[in-house]
Amino acid sequence: MEIVYHGHSCVQLITEGKSLLFDPFLRGNPLATAKPEDIRADYILLTHAHTDHILDAEPIARANDATVVATFELAMYLSTRKQLRTIDMNIGGTVDLGFARAKMIQAFHSSGIFLEEGEIIYGGMPAGFIVQTEGLTLLHAGDTALFSDMRMIGERHPIDIAFLPIGDHYTMGPDDALQAAQWFGAKLVIPVHYNSFPAIRQDSEAFVRRLEAQNQLGRALAPGERLEITAESLKSLLVKNDS
């Protein structure tokens, strides 16, 4: 599997010859190194309806004839108003994408669609996703605050790789993200949702060092950086980290 971090909360998984994309936000992110036309995607998973998570879903979906997976309200908006192919689902549900299974989990945040005329319409509940593919279980937490059911989620779904927001102000900050990492029991934590705007500036390498201090493996990826990983290579990284 190849993980590509495109900045902010946009993560791409290239697995089983398919491309799965979370929360595409490229045109509005000054740190992004890719443009929407650079991205290949078969499925686009949206955690919630805020602009910094859905801005580039439409052009990428159109260019690739990709299917968007989102909560019922957001999926209905994208299918009826934007004429995109969608799979609507809700928190607790699972969809089989053929090469991967994606379960929608809760997040504590807000979710609204900002229309050009200034109106805000309800975008459904915010969410995260647990994706299982190639023998790995990956969690994208979406935009969220810390909540105690993260412990239950980690107990029921052994997490190999977790993408956790650390920006603070709009989501968890580093302190709460460290607790979330523990509760999820993630073997590898990759921070997201930081540095795109002044309000969410964070030191990702300092966060990784703090993860290591609590005996968890962390990896901060720069926008555009790629990480090749398999279940076996992750085991090797964990052994190396323990030693």
Residue 110's nearest CA partner among 26, 190, 53 is: 53
Q: What is the pLDDT of residues 210-220, one digit of tens each?
A: 999 999 999 99
pLDDT, position 64? 98
pTM: 0.98
Q: In percent, how much of the chain has pLDDT > 90?
A: 95
Residue 116: predicted pLDDT: 83
What's the pLDDT score for residue 157? 97
What pLDDT, on a 0 to 100 scale, did the predictor assign at position 99? 97
Query: What type of residue sits at position 35?
Result: K
Say if residue 109's pLDDT is above 90.
yes
Partner residues linked to 67 by β-bridges:
43
pLDDT for the residue 123: 97
Q: What is the rounded distance in angstroms from the CA atom of residue 75 to the CA atom of residue 78?
A: 5
Q: For residue 117, what pLDDT is reported?
A: 84
Return the pLDDT at 242: 75
Q: Which two tokens stand for residue 134?
A: 């190639």
Mean pLDDT of the chain: 97
The reported pLDDT for the residue numbered 31 is 97
pLDDT at 229 over 70: yes
Residue 188 pLDDT level (bands cut at 50, 70, 90): very high
Give the pLDDT of residue 240. 75
* Local confidence band at 191 (pLDDT 50, 70, 90 cut-offs): very high
Identify the burial level of 232 via C-beta atoms within 10 angstroms of its C-beta, where 0-12 means exposed, 13-18 middle and 19 or more buried: exposed
Q: Of 69-73, 78-82, 89-93, 116-120, which range is least confident?
A: 116-120
pLDDT score for 139 = 99
- CATH number of the structural domain 2-242: 3.60.15.10
Q: Is the pLDDT assigned to residue 243 strictly greater than 70?
A: no
Q: Determine the pLDDT at residue 234.
A: 96
Residue 49 and residue 47: Cα distance in Å, rounded? Answer: 7
Q: Is 90 exposed, middle or buried (0-12, 13-18, 19+ CB in 10 A)?
A: middle
Tell me the domain boundaries of the chain: 2-242
Taking residues 173-186, report their average pLDDT. Answer: 98
